[in-house]
Amino acid sequence: MQEYFTMFYELVFGFFALFIATKVLGKTQISQITAFDFISALLLGELVGNALFDPHAGVLEIAFVVTVYGVLMYTTEIITQKFKRTRSFIEGNPSIIIYNGKLIRDTMKKNKLDIDQLQHLLREKDTFSVREVEFAILEANGSLSVLKKSDYQPPTRKDMKLSAQDVDLSTTLINDGEIIYDNLEEKNLSEEWLMEQLIEQGYNQLEDVFYAEYMKDQKLLVLPFLNRNHQKWEP
Would residue 161 count as lying in a domain? no
Distance CA 9, CA 107 (A): 35
Please calculate the CA angle 26-32-35 and round it to the nearest 5 degrees: 45
Distance CA 228, CA 235 (A): 12
Residues 83 and 122 in one domain: no
Does residue 194 register a pLDDT over 70? yes
Asked if 177 and 222 touch (Cβ cutoff 8 Å), the reply is no
Would residue 53 count as lying in a domain? yes
DSSP state of 27: G
Does residue 53 register a pLDDT over 80? no
Q: Is 126 left (phi over 0), alpha (psi -120 to 50) or beta?
A: left
Q: Lowest mean pLDDT of 88-92, 124-128, 162-166, 230-234, name the range.
A: 230-234
Does residue 81 register a pLDDT over 60? yes
DSSP letters for 88-154 = HHHT---EEEEETTEE-HHHHHHTT--HHHHHHHHHHTT---GGGEEEEEE-TTS-EEEEE-GGGSP
SS3 178: strand
pLDDT at 164: 77
Nearest to 76 by CA among 19, 33, 21, 28: 19
Does residue 52 register a pLDDT over 80? no
Would residue 232 count as lying in a domain? no
Would residue 183 count as lying in a domain? yes
pLDDT at 141: 74
pTM score, whole prediction: 0.52
Asked if 32 and 142 touch (Cβ cutoff 8 Å), the reply is yes
Residue 63 belongs to domain spanning: 2-90
pLDDT at 235: 41
pLDDT at 168: 78
pLDDT at 15: 65
pLDDT at 234: 42
Picking from 123, 152, 181, the residue at the C-terminal end of a domain is: 152
Would residue 164 count as lying in a domain? no
> How many angstroms separate the most distant Cα atoms in the chain?
77
The CATH number that applies at residue 208 is 3.30.240.20
Would residue 10 count as lying in a domain? yes
Residues 80 and 31 in one domain: yes
Highest mean pLDDT among 11-15, 121-125, 222-226: 121-125
Q: Lowest mean pLDDT of 31-35, 130-134, 137-141, 182-186, name the range.
A: 31-35
- Condensed to tens digits (0 to 9), the pLDDT of residues 101-147 reads 999 989 888 888 888 888 999 999 999 988 999 999 998 778 899 99
Greater confidence (119 vs 86) lies with 119
